[in-house]
Structure 1
Amino acid sequence: MHQEAQLGSDIELQRFEPTATTLGSTRIGNLDGKTTPFSAEVSHAQEQVTEVPESIAESQNRQNATALPPVDGGIEAWTFVAAAFVLEALVWGFGYSYGVFQDFYTHNPPFNTSSETAIAAVGTAGLAIQYLEVIFLIIAHERWPHITRPMTWAALALFSGSLFLSSFATKISHLIILQGILFGIGGSALYAPVIVWLSEWFVRRRSLAGSIIFGGSGVGGALFPVLVNVLLTKVGWRWTLRTCALIIAVCAGAALWFIKARIPVSRNQPGQVKPVNMKFLKTPLFLVVATTIFIQAIAYFPVALYMPTYTTALGLPIIDGTLVLAVFNIASVVGQIIFGYLCDRMPYARVMIFSGVGSALSAYLLWGFAHTLSLIFVFVVIFGGLSGGFSSIWPPASAEIAGMTS
């Protein structure tokens, strides 16, 4: 860059040398006495010389921009979606399957002597932390983007390691700390980069891409309950936790290789920490959306976590409760993809209203009368599809909130 600037400077000076000589002759023989100081021409030449490096820098920026992978499509963008889908299935899908563990812990030693509230606190703590912690992690990644990659690998170690250590628990308090709190911290830190980098890869198709990624939680939530139920029956709860920890470590580790930023990340120098705009916390739209999500979660998670327990309480076999939970999570995948498609083509507020009103009516009109397995399946399909698709409004709502404070 320095050599190019110097070359541009030499060219400009050579261009103005004949002009200066001509003007010098004119200054001596000009009959009307008007003169043009040579210093003015030199100053003009210097101004043009300083413009050369700027044009070179602009050209370099254009070259860097064209070298970036395309937005809203291309092999790298959809590879990011596929890898994020796998990570979503592992982080959230396993958390949503806790209802199977809860039913087993309640009826089998060594935790069957603990209160049902304490046993339920394990899964509740894990999911609550994953939801609440992610906003602080996103702020940290925005402020110090160079820590994102090493943090994800450390989070994977905590996520799978806490699950493995849970297999050695002897008290319910051990499970609350390991399978609940630490598991939630690791899962949130492992998943946060997906939220940060999604907006770099997708703009026009962001809702569709986000709904596909979020659909991973439903797929994982459908597969893990069946797997966990089989393992609990065959090898017991300790080896079930160890097996799941190994599966998560291998599959999540493979997915992390393909989850990366579209824009190259540079390490911030001391005194050059990237500022984070926190004005969005005070916007009315953020407060309304956050409150709505909180209320929706209060209604959604009791169904997602307690359907196996509810089914067993009706006197149905445990395997039926597992299948009900699996169908519930599959229905949420369908709802997420459909609602994500709609959010790219209509105001997301309409989708939010349809999801909220529809799921509320299904709970009011169907769940109270669902005393047979067939009616339970009808309820979880309708409620799961309508309420599970609610998360598809998050990407467009976030984009609008960010646009109001940019």
Structure 2
Amino acid sequence: MVQPSRPVSIADDEGIHSSSTAFAHPMQVEEGLEDTQALPRVDGGKDAWLVLAGCFVLEALVWGFPYSFGVFQNYYSTHGPFNSQRSGVAAISTTASGIMFIASPFVAVLVQRYPRQRRLANFAGLVILVSGLVAASFTSTTGALLATQGILFAIGGLTLYFPAMYVIDEWFIARKGLAFAVIWTGTGFGGAVFPFVSQWLLDTYGFRTALRVWAVVIAVLALPSILVMRNRLPLSGSSALRPLNLAFMKLAPFWIYSFGNMMQSIAYFLPQLWLPSFAREAGMPAIAGPLALCLLNIAACGGYISQGIIVDRYHVTVAICVATLGSMLAVFVCWGLTTSPAMLYVFVILWGLTGGGFAGNWAGCAAAIRKSGHHVDTGMVISLLCVSKGVGSVVSGPISEKLLEVAPFQDADFAYGTRYGAVILFTGLSVTLGGVACIGKLAKIV
């Protein structure tokens, strides 16, 4: 049981304000301060839980929607006016996710530079995101969908999400890995609910109404989440940009973690993107695709939590090894040998519990570098790992579309013998390379 921290204070002459903890460990900040103002406890208490809940909801809304895009992908590919212009549809979701991931370090720096504008950024991001969905409902071309449901949604989502997300580093210290993992389960929760609701809206009312309904739902749920977010450390009178310590980027462990994260991320998006289409072409019931996405995202919640618990107790490579071995089994065996809905469900559950929760080890990557004796800003490490995941997101869509053009393996049975055979093999190879940090640990590099 983690005991409540003792009251500590903020000395304004140190130039410390709340947003700086996106790039500095809060305990390190607190230890050097004078006792002039009591602070709320860390790792628990009403305020901490409210912040955690608000971040969870924003996570579910901002990331759960694009992660359930497979339902929209299937609809756009089979209904007008987009069924005659399928090329590029797969890039809508991966572009949205990629932009949010890749641009996160830049937003993190802006949040630090202008801490008093954090809530304004939240509201501005919500307006942009909702506008993107509403604008998408009026489009008739794939290019317009990419610009609205893809790019505009991403800009709004990032601006809404990240300024609220970074305050978690202030409220949780001993339970930091678990706290981030709980928040990231919001993606799984949203990804589990959104496919069914989206499928019903698309089948009943069409894509235009479906997008407008989601715009309203996101606005209604995001507003109270923004309002409960609050900083733990007070703002100082100065908003000068603190120098960023990026020395850890010169270290081999950071790049090993980043490469493995990128390869795992390339694989991560492929099942989410193609499962509904795979299930339909395999002759499975109409419910099989949305249900597979739902089970995948529910299982991913367990994956995030388990990764967070492991990194709080053991070296991060233990969590990476568990995720990698489980992912390889899920892809090469379960997906590759799928011929029925039951086997498909086994695959998505195992995949969600392992590869689906891979990002849950990010806080552990930062902790591992810190324990090696180097100064590390947790928030900046996480935002840079977001970049490598964003690269994986952006390239996964176009690569998978090209792989689907590869002729099926005629002499292969099960899913390997379908046009998705090359996608399955590529996914398995990517998750295998995602475990490179385990080799680095054996070689005493990380």
TM over 0.5: yes
Aligned to 2:192: 222
Determine the C-alpha separation between the residues in 2 that align with 1:399 and 1:147.
29
Q: In the alignment, does 2:133 pair up with 1:160?
A: no
| Alignment partner, residue 417 of structure 2 | none
Alignment of 1:129-140 (within 5 A): 129-140=99-110
1:294 aligns with 2:294: no
Contact 1:146/1:266 (<8 A) preserved: no
Aligned pair 1:356/2:324, yes or no? yes
Matched, 1:99 2:70: yes
| Paired amino acid for 1:82 | A
Task: Check if 1:320 corresponds to 2:288.
Answer: yes
Query: What CA distance in whole angstroms lies between the structure 2 residues aligned with 1:165 and 1:281?
Result: 40
SS state at 2:244 partner? coil
Q: Does 1:405 align with 2:383?
A: no
Residues 280, 147 of structure 1: CA spacing in aligned structure 2 closer, same or farther, 3 A cutoff? Answer: farther
Q: Which amino acid aligns with 1:89?
A: A
* 1:260 to partner: Cα distance: 2.2
Compute the displacement of 1:400 (Å). Answer: 4.2
What displacement does 1:405 show? Answer: 2.8
1:268 corresponding residue in structure 2: 238
Deviations 1:25-46 (CA, angstroms, capped at 9, x unpaired): xxxxxxxxxxxxxxxxxxxxxx
- Report whether the alignment pairs 1:188 with 2:158: yes
Give the aligned partner of residue 394 of structure 1: 362
C-alpha separation in 1, matches of 2:111 and 2:367: 17
Among residues 331, 337, 347, which one is paired with 2:315 in the alignment? 347
- Give the Cα separation in 2 of the matches to 1:193 and 1:283: 28
Matched with 1:87 is: 58
Tell me which residue corresponds to 2:88: 118
TM-score, with normalisation over the residues of structure 2?
0.74
1:61 aligns with 2:31: no
Over 3 Å counting, the alpha-carbon distance change for 1:224 and 1:382 in structure 2 is same
Q: CA deviation at 1:334?
A: 1.2
After superposition, where does 1:40-55 map in structure 2 within 5 Å?
Answer: none
Is the partner of 1:210 in helix, strand or coil? helix
Further displaced range: 171-180 or 280-289: 280-289
Assess if the C-alpha contact under 8 Å between 2:316 and 2:368 holds in 1. no
- How far apart, CA to CA, are the structure 2 residues paired with 1:362 and 1:193? 35
Aligned match of 1:70 in 41, 50, 53?
41
Q: Give the alignment partner of residue 371 of structure 1, picking from 339, 357, 378.
A: 339
Cα distance between partner residues in 2 of 1:93 and 1:81: 17
Structure with the higher helix share, 1 or 2: 1
Residue 130 of structure 1 deviates from its aligned partner by 1.4
The Cα offsets for residues 282-338 of structure 1, whole Å up to 9 and x where unpaired, read as 222221111111110011110122111111110223322111111111010111112
Distance 1:356 1:108 in 2: 37
* Identity level (%): 37
Q: How far off its partner does 1:386 sit?
A: 0.6
CA distance in 2, matches of 1:368, 1:327: 18
The 8 Å contact of residues 162 and 178 in structure 1, kept in 2 or not, is answered as yes
Alpha-carbon offset, residue 267 of structure 1: 5.5
Identify the structure with bigger relative contact order (alpha carbons < 8 Å, sequence gap 6+).
Answer: 2
1:280 aligns with 2:248: yes
For 2:237 and 2:286, how far apart are their aligned partners in 1? 52
SS in 1 for 2:170: helix
Moved more, 286-295 or 337-346: 337-346
TM-score norm. by structure 1 comes to: 0.81
Q: How many residues align?
A: 344
Of 209, 213, 218, which residue of structure 1 is paired with 2:179? 209
- Asked whether the 8 Å contact 1:362–1:379 carries over to 2, the reply is yes
Given that residues 112 and 241 in structure 2 are in contact (C-alpha distance below 8 angstroms), is that contact kept between their aligned partners in structure 1? no
**C-alpha deviation, 1:231, in angstroms:** 0.7
- Give the residue type in structure 1 aligned to 2:75: F
Partner of 1:127: 97
- One-letter amino acid of the structure 2 residue matched with residue 322 of structure 1: P
Query: How far 1:152 moved relative to its partner?
Result: 1.5
Structure 2 unaligned residues grouped into runs of 5+ = 1-30, 377-446
Deviations along 1:219-274, one digit per CA (max 9) or x if unpaired, are 000000010011111111101000000100110111011122211224635xx333
- The separation in 2 between residues aligned to 1:96 and 1:102, in whole angstroms, is 11
* C-alpha separation in 1, matches of 2:323 and 2:105: 24
Aligned partners of 1:143 and 1:276 also within 8 Å: no
Inter-partner Cα distance in structure 2 for 1:378 and 1:107: 27
Give 1:341 shift: 1.7
CA distance in 2, matches of 1:99, 1:83: 26
Deviation at 1:98, TM superposition (A): 0.5
**Aligned-partner residue type, residue 132 of structure 1:** I
Query: 1:42 is matched with which residue?
Result: none
Per mean C-alpha deviation after superposition, the further-off stretch among 97-106 and 380-389 is: 380-389
Distance 2:154 2:249 in 1: 24
What's the secondary structure of 2:314's corresponding residue? Answer: coil
CA distance in 1, matches of 2:131, 2:237: 29
Runs of 4+ in 1 over 3 A off after TM superposition: 266-269, 399-403
Return the alpha-carbon distance in structure 1 between the equivalents of residues 146 and 344 of structure 2: 30
Is 1:232 the counterpart of 2:230? The answer is: no
CA displacement at 1:394 relative to structure 2: 0.9
Cα distance in 2 for residues equivalent to 1:196 and 1:280: 20
Q: Tell me the SS of whatever aligns to 2:228.
A: coil
How many Å separate the matches in 2 of 1:80 and 1:399? 22
Q: Deviations over 1:33-82 (max 9, x none)?
A: xxxxxxxxxxxxxxxxxxxxxxxxx9x93031xx2111111111111111
Q: Which amino acid aligns with 2:68?
A: S
Amino acid at match of 1:374: A
Distance 1:134 1:305 in 2: 23
Any conservation in 2 of the 1:69–1:262 contact (CA below 8 Å)? Answer: yes
The match for 1:383 is 351
Contact 1:143/1:275, CA 8 A, preserved across alignment: no
Structure 1 unaligned spans of 5+: 1-57
